[in-house]
Homo-oligomer: A and B are copies of this chain.
Amino acid sequence: MYAHIKAVEALRAVHGQLPVNLKFLLEGEEEVGGESVAEYVAGNQEELRADVALVSDTAMYAEGMPSLCIGLRGLVYMEVEAFGPARDLHSGNYGGAAPNAVYALIELLSKAKNSRGVIQVPGIYDDVEPPAPAEKQSWESLPFDEKEFRKKEVGSKSLTGEPGYSVLERIWARPTFEVHGIAGGFTGAGAKTVIPAKATAKVSIRLVSKQDPDKVIEAFKAFVRKKTPKGVRTEVRVLSAAPAVLVNPDHPAVRTASEAFAAVFGKPTVFIRSGGSIPIVGEFAKHLGIPTVLMGFGLPDDGLHAPNEKFHLEQYYKGIVTVAHFFEQYGQ
């Protein structure tokens, strides 16, 4: 945001006026749902009319490597709750005959993905399209060290995920099913032999290409209904839903941004994707009918949302110049 204002100031100082018309839209709620801005965009289409949106909420692939993000995964986030006996029961008196809500939820969720990481919800891959061969090929030329990724970033003995897909493809262009949290029964210190009456899990499905959030939600709900174990009742609550976003790299605005990046950083711009979601980009496409240029200046080691998060000053200054270049060239 500051970089964009500084770019505007610089352009005004040099040219006395701006090469493009600008509308600033501030979103201060994204990390806690971002519902207000979605509503605002839907309700103020005329006021917000534009040729293109510019969002700086992504990172460059590596330091010194100008990169434009042209794909974001979508996200469907849900809560699954299982109800077994009417109240917690003593497992000595009822174990062997009473349903266990925690175990039922375990059984149910274990069926959502097979041991190789392939999602088992029927129809889930129907609208998944592979990235174009040229895009896939360009990913292969990116400097990606799988061993370093595993050891330094993930910190586990091995990586997981669908066989037959590279790590970048699995993260950027494949849907995933994750359980983000689970709770139920007795979890204090020591031993308590309850058969839990209730259990809850937070789950999400990341979406790619043409997967429709509503269709995916229905498919998951049908899956839960069908796989709910005997004696147990389940409920699914949807907490958020947003489709994947793909930006056409041949769009004039994206081409211009790519050239601005290359000019400032002195290297050809690479097109990358992100496995995360920026829901507002989908809202712009849906309600304003415009593409979004994802021009981000973060670096992979910024430590987003983590202790000691940082933003490199050089990225800030180069960001100002890149944004100014982009406005100037796009105005022509």
Contact = CB atoms under 8 A, between A and B. Distances in A.
Interface string A57-91: 00000000000000001010100000011110111
A271 interface: no
A215 interface: no
Contact of A190 (B33, B190, B277): B33
A96 B174 contact: yes
A99 interface: yes
Nearest to A75: B193
Given A92-B277, A154-B85, A275-B92, A107 B107 contact: no
What is the oligomeric copy number?
A: 2
A128 to B, nearest CB: 12
Nearest to A146: B97
A105 to B, nearest CB: 8
A93 B193 contact: no
A109 interface: yes
Contacts of A106: 106, 109-110, 179, 182
A75 B157 CA distance: 34
Contacts of A32: 190
Interface residues on A, range: 35 or more
A155 B109 contact: no
Given A106-B179, A179-B103, A202-B191, A97 B184 contact: no
B91 A231 contact: no
B231 A305 contact: no
A154 B97 contact: yes
Interface stretch (A40-48, A159-167, A260-268): A159-167
A5 interface: no
A191 B276 contact: no
Nearest to A153: B94
28 contacts: A85-B156, A86-B154, A86-B155, A89-B153, A91-B176, A91-B178, A91-B180, A92-B275, A92-B276, A92-B277, A93-B274, A94-B275, A95-B176, A96-B117, A96-B171, A96-B174, A96-B176, A97-B161, A97-B170, A100-B160, A103-B113, A110-B111, A115-B229, A160-B231, A180-B185, A180-B191, A181-B194, A187-B202
